[in-house]
Amino acid sequence: EVQLVQSGAEVRKPGESLKISCKGSGYSFTKYWVGWVRQMPGKGLEYMGIIYPGDSDTRYSPSFQGQVTISADESINTAYLQWSSLKASDTAMYYCAKSAIMSAAGPFDYWGQGTLVTVSS
């Protein structure tokens, strides 16, 4: 069974750093792109970026380039999303998701359960 299991909810203060994770199982982790999607409270879905764990090729949406870092550790089938200095506007639910197409960045067929990040002083 394909699963993406994300790390738990986080509460941080503005200016702090954070790294959240997404562990894949039930499929060949290195052969499918994994993406990150932001959903701010009461809002729609925003595509942040995507990584190919097999060679760590990473692409960012222009809106998120320089704001976050996406990485992966293929030895433990885990992708990461990290911030070096959080802002209150980073408060959102963050989803990881797996591309439906092997070796291609296509639609997402499996999603993690989401990680709620709250940034508040």
Positions that interact with another protein (CB under 8 A): 35, 37, 44-50, 59-63, 95, 97, 100, 105-109, 111-114
72 HSE (CA, 13 A, CB side): 29
Min separation Cβ 5 and another protein, Å: 12
Cβ(96)–Cβ(50) below 8 Å: no
Decide whether 17 or 113 has the Cβ nearer to another protein. 113
Least CB distance to another protein at residue 60 (A): 7
Residue closer to another protein by CB (options 12, 105) is: 105
Cβ proximity to another protein, 43 vs 87, nearer residue:
43
Q: Closest approach of Cβ 1 to another protein, in Å?
A: 12
In the complex, what is the shortest distance from the CB of residue 115 to another protein, in angstroms, rounded to a whole number?
11
What is the full DSSP assignment across 45-111?
Answer: EEEEEEEETTTTEEEE-TTTBTTBEEEEEGGGTEEEEEESS--GGG-EEEEEEEESSTTS---EEEE
